[in-house]
Amino acid sequence: MKKKLLATTTTLLASAMLSASVFALTDPPVDPVDPVDPTDPPSSDNVRGPDPTESALESTRGGPYSVRTQNVSSLSARGFGGGTIHYPTNAGTNMGAIAVVPGFVSYENSIEWWGSRLASWGFVVITIDTNTTVDQPDSRADQLSAALDLLVSESNSGSSAISGLVDPSRLGAIGWSMGGGGSLKLATERNLKAIIPQAPWYTGSSTFRRLTTPTMIIACEADVVAPVGQHASPFYNAIPDSTPKAFLEINGGSHFCANSGYSDEDLLGKYGIAWMKRFMDDDTRYSQFLCGPNHESNRNISEYRDTCNY
């Protein structure tokens, strides 16, 4: 669904400041679409879960796994402003881990929907607040990295709720706006399996031309805060064609088009889950949703580019 354009920084700040509290203590499990027996052996160490379908990926109820959450207070977080860990309860162990960061003058609740959605498909996810709401992209890259370090550390702890759940060799990041710029920046500094920058904003010195991390850029067609022609599209073009990459532009979307309360979650869920499953889990069952027929036949997508086949 198209959203009304929110064009000014003042509106952005107001929207952020009126947001609800960002810290959930412990949420009830998310009802699974299709319960999975976690004892069923996957076809490889990373591949898990039933064969994916478009309807399952688009379902706002989530994926095949039940999800719980764990609060990370700002006092206990090191290097970022606290947040929420979302983890599956019946997906086995050694899962990929993903950190998600919001944008300028925004809070965790603007991107928190990604947490339970991705966790329900077999990832350990942390959605975070930043140290201050005005932190720049390079700082957000550092904070994403610190959040991933926390997930690895908690997984290595025998007393943690996510003990043994994280595979430290399979890490990923998602960021919106300046957080999207931060996810791109982090991928130039740290070995990541996949990233999804959303409406990315970045003006610093970058090395995106050497990026080797599989990258899906989600752009918002009517974005006046980070105009597509100045940010998302040049970033995509800079990434080498030898790197798996995709560019998905939301038809008529404002800068907020990938955010909680604004997002077309069935569309973004399908592509975001498919991207992370394909490259973090190396699960080729998800390639069918990223490559193939003309994606622009979906009226909510104004442009789609890719470097298939992958």
Positions marked active-site = 177, 223, 255
CA distances from 304 to 38, 119, 152, 290 (A): 35, 26, 34, 10
- State the average pLDDT over residues 57-79: 95
Rounded Cα–Cα distance for residues 125 and 140 (Å):
16
What pLDDT sits at residue 8?
38
Domains, the chain, with CATH or none: 9-306 (3.40.50.1820)
Average pLDDT, the chain: 87
Query: Which residues, listed in sequence order, are joined to residue 248 by a DSSP beta bridge?
Result: 218, 304
What pLDDT sits at residue 46?
82
| Tokens (6 digits) for 23 | 């810290």
What pLDDT sits at residue 293?
83
- State the average pLDDT over residues 12-30: 35
Rounded Cα–Cα distance for residues 164 and 7 (Å):
44
Percentage of residues of the chain with pLDDT beyond 90: 79
Rounded Cα–Cα distance for residues 284 and 279 (Å):
8
What predicted TM-score, i.e. pTM, was given to this entire model?
Answer: 0.86
What pLDDT sits at residue 6?
36
What are the DSSP calls for 49-65, one per residue? SSPP-HHHHH-TT--SS
Contact 129, 83 (CB under 8 A): yes
Whether residue 277 has pLDDT greater than 90: yes
Rounded Cα–Cα distance for residues 188 and 288 (Å):
28
Query: Model confidence at 206, in pLDDT bands (50, 70, 90)?
Result: confident
- State the average pLDDT over residues 72-84: 96
Contact 79, 142 (CB under 8 A): yes
| Tokens (6 digits) for 289 | 């949703």
What pLDDT sits at residue 94?
96
Quick one: how far is CA 102 from the chain centroid? 10
Angle 278-176-306 from CA coordinates, rounded to 5°: 40
Rounded Cα–Cα distance for residues 200 and 248 (Å):
12
Rounded Cα–Cα distance for residues 267 and 297 (Å):
13
Query: Model confidence at 263, in pLDDT bands (50, 70, 90)?
Result: low
Query: Model confidence at 20, in pLDDT bands (50, 70, 90)?
Result: very low
Helix pair angle (137-155, 178-187), 10° resolution: 70
Query: Model confidence at 26, in pLDDT bands (50, 70, 90)?
Result: very low
Whether residue 34 has pLDDT greater than 80: no
Residues 6+ apart with CB under 8 A from 51: 285
Lowest mean pLDDT among 28-42, 109-123, 209-223: 28-42
Contact 198, 176 (CB under 8 A): yes
What pLDDT sits at residue 44?
55
Find where tokens 């591949």 sit.
47
